[in-house]
Structure 1
Amino acid sequence: MTSGTQKKFSHLRVIGAASGLGAQDQACADGPLAFHHSQAWHQIERHPLVDWGRTLFAPAADHLSATARIAELCHHLADELELALQDKVFPLVIGGDHSVAIGTWSGVARFAGAPLGLLWIDAHLDSHTPETSYSGAVHGMPLACLLGRGDKRLLNIGLPGVQVSAAHCVVLGARSYEPEELVFLQQQGVRIIDSEEILQRGFAACLEEAGKIVAGTPAGFGVTLDLDVLDPQLAPGVGSPEPDGLGAREIRLALRQLAATSGLRALEIVEYNPDRDRDGLTARLISGLIGEILPAIAGRGGK
């Protein structure tokens, strides 16, 4: 990974994506507002390079299916991301279930004018299609959608065709997934660095490789972080916890290094479920992660 020295962004803007429609446990819809009202956020909002922009909600229309409502939210979220980047603001999306990633990275791809690199940090592969999904939950499908496969309502939101370059996409930290997802990503050429490989090679070496892959496209790259990649003892406030996750120190290291890498266009932190949080532990962790990227944002400009 190479250090980015260009002054590109004026400040960091948080954008809430308040939807749980893609998840079995829909309480993560409350995640953005709960975090916005938390003491953890109040401590970091004093920073001169941070502001909270808009919080977007899925339409409440009863006549629309859950997928149609997710699609409409993702269209609005894509517009919001494109607008932030046009304003030279660094966007940080707080979700919401991981289906909102379809909107986030479609908007960034539209701004870039080409498919992005993407680092998908997650306990799961999130690469089912409606035909392969065991649960039908859309938050298990967003990476497939960004790679051009899935419900047609969730495709082509940013660019015609794929939004993410498979050759510059890495899934890091996966430890619970179905064979259909694995086969799909392998066929696409996505690099998967699972928890077993991290244990064997060490996190720093895996992160270095992942960073080089995703940053290797002129269109730039993004980072999406599902909080369930962390060990549930450290981040209990998630809807789909998996045992034996990564440590907070490792994730802090990842965001610090990636934020300093040329070409980073946006960050997304998803699946915060305040109903399952314990004493604000997960909210404080989110705040700490934002703090890790601020020095790099500050180095690229100021208000």
Structure 2
Amino acid sequence: MSQNIHIIGAATTFGQPRLGVDLGPDAIRYAGLDKALSSLGYTVTDAGDIRSKYRVNASNHSIKNETNLLNYREVMDFSLELAAEVDNTVSSGQFPLILGGDHSLSIGSLAGISKHYEDLGVIWYDAHGDLNDSRTSPSGNIHGMPLGISCGVGDEDLVNLYNPGIKVKPQNVVLIGMRDLDEGEKLYIKENGILTFTMGDIRTKGIESVMKEALTHLEGRTDGIHLSVDVDALDPLETPGTGTPVDGGLSLSESQLAMEILNDSGRITSMDLVEVNPLLDEKNKTAEKAVKIAESLFGKKQL
């Protein structure tokens, strides 16, 4: 892992209908991210926020296009801009730490990162698979599609965003924390052999075993690993400030241990930290937990 961390605020809320998640990057900053990472010996720079050129308007926020996708043009344009910033960050030898914003931002982050790896791996730490097909999604919410799009599923222009073709092979994906999968996602996971750990698996095996199994699975087949952490992977009691909470999630201590194991591996090359919505939060509690997760990934130990 690079000793130079480049923070990129991805202040987007267009991938889903709830307003406020575009304020997430600043909430995480206010919770002390820069100071926490600098204290661990990293050189930290902050690019500020990439913001959509489109104004967030409460009266017409969730507009579907002709193919049933919400805020399609807004998501497309934002993703292109984020992809370029992430691409430049990796080219300069820095570690891109992308703060969300809703999870649709991963379309852009993966597009920018994947240019630098022949076989990029992805660990998707989330309550949801985000593997919905943009052509068949009943909701049209693009934050439920970024991993599917990055694997080549759905809208052709989104799949080919920034550079043509898929950004990650399905067999190079590991899903961790799953407890709210749609039927189409379950079928896609089975058909493509995606290594998946539900919360039932985590309770049976323990998070340490799960993380080591995930790393073993990606060893030898990937030349870099992108980590995408949605704060709804944690139980809502831990992270109330998020738009799609699902009961029965991971604890903070489990997540810290998971991040410590990833740090020890030295194989994580980039990270998304997404779906913090301060309008839904309790005294910035969720953003503070997000900072603790980042600290553990970058080397802070519980003991």
SS state at 2:170 partner: strand
The residue aligned with 2:59 is none
Equivalent runs, 1:97-176 vs 2, <5 Å? 97-112=102-117, 114-176=118-180
Give, in whole Å, the separation in 2 of the partners of 1:261 and 1:64. Answer: 42
The residue aligned with 1:3 is none
> Which letter does structure 2 place at the counterpart of 1:44?
A
> Which letter does structure 2 place at the counterpart of 1:51?
T
Quickly say closer, same or farther: Cα 1:294–1:241, change in 2 above 3 A: same
Kept in 2, the 8 Å contact 1:10–1:88? The answer is: no
When structure 1 is superposed on structure 2, of 185-194 and 243-252 the one drifting more is: 185-194
Kept in 2, the 8 Å contact 1:117–1:215? The answer is: no
Quickly say closer, same or farther: Cα 1:59–1:130, change in 2 above 3 A: same
The residue aligned with 1:232 is 236
* Sequence identity (%): 28
Deviation (angstroms), 1:185: 2.2
SS state at 1:198 partner: helix
Structure 1 residue runs of 5 or longer lacking an equivalent are 1-7, 297-303
Deviation (angstroms), 1:126: 0.7
The residue aligned with 1:95 is 100
The residue aligned with 1:254 is 258
Give, in whole Å, the separation in 1 of the partners of 2:89 and 2:147. Answer: 22
When structure 1 is superposed on structure 2, of 62-71 and 262-271 the one drifting more is: 62-71
TM-score, structure 1 length as denominator?
0.88
The residue aligned with 1:68 is 73
Give, in whole Å, the separation in 1 of the partners of 2:93 and 2:84. Answer: 14
Kept in 2, the 8 Å contact 1:20–1:28? The answer is: yes
The residue aligned with 1:178 is 182
SS state at 2:171 partner: strand
The residue aligned with 1:77 is 82
Equivalent runs, 1:12-91 vs 2, <5 Å? 12-36=5-29, 38-41=30-33, 43-44=35-36, 47=39, 49-60=43-54, 66-91=71-96
Give, in whole Å, the separation in 2 of the partners of 1:14 and 1:190. Answer: 30
> Which letter does structure 2 place at the counterpart of 1:84?
T
Give me the CA root mean square deviation: 2.1
SS state at 2:14 partner: coil
- Residues 244-281 of structure 1 show CA distances to partners (whole Å, capped at 9, x for unaligned) of 11011111111122123243210111101011111221
> Which letter does structure 1 place at the counterpart of 2:155?
D
Deviation (angstroms), 1:73: 1.1
Quickly say closer, same or farther: Cα 1:251–1:161, change in 2 above 3 A: same
Quickly say closer, same or farther: Cα 1:206–1:293, change in 2 above 3 A: closer
Deviation (angstroms), 1:207: 1.3
SS state at 1:50 partner: strand
When structure 1 is superposed on structure 2, of 57-66 and 241-250 the one drifting more is: 57-66
Give, in whole Å, the separation in 2 of the partners of 1:109 and 1:158. Answer: 10
> Which letter does structure 1 place at the counterpart of 2:227?
V
TM-score, structure 2 length as denominator?
0.88
Kept in 1, the 8 Å contact 2:9–2:50? The answer is: yes
Quickly say closer, same or farther: Cα 1:87–1:149, change in 2 above 3 A: same
Kept in 1, the 8 Å contact 2:86–2:109? The answer is: yes
SS state at 2:127 partner: coil
Give, in whole Å, the separation in 2 of the partners of 1:241 and 1:280. Answer: 16
Give, in whole Å, the separation in 2 of the partners of 1:253 and 1:225. Answer: 14
Quickly say closer, same or farther: Cα 1:184–1:64, change in 2 above 3 A: closer
Kept in 1, the 8 Å contact 2:97–2:271? The answer is: yes
The residue aligned with 1:201 is 205
When structure 1 is superposed on structure 2, of 49-58 and 235-244 the one drifting more is: 49-58
Give, in whole Å, the separation in 1 of the partners of 2:182 and 2:138. Answer: 9
Quickly say closer, same or farther: Cα 1:171–1:29, change in 2 above 3 A: same
Give, in whole Å, the separation in 2 of the partners of 1:268 and 1:214. Answer: 19
When the two structures are aligned, how many residues end up with a matched partner? 287
Kept in 1, the 8 Å contact 2:4–2:43? The answer is: yes
> Which letter does structure 2 place at the counterpart of 1:238?
T
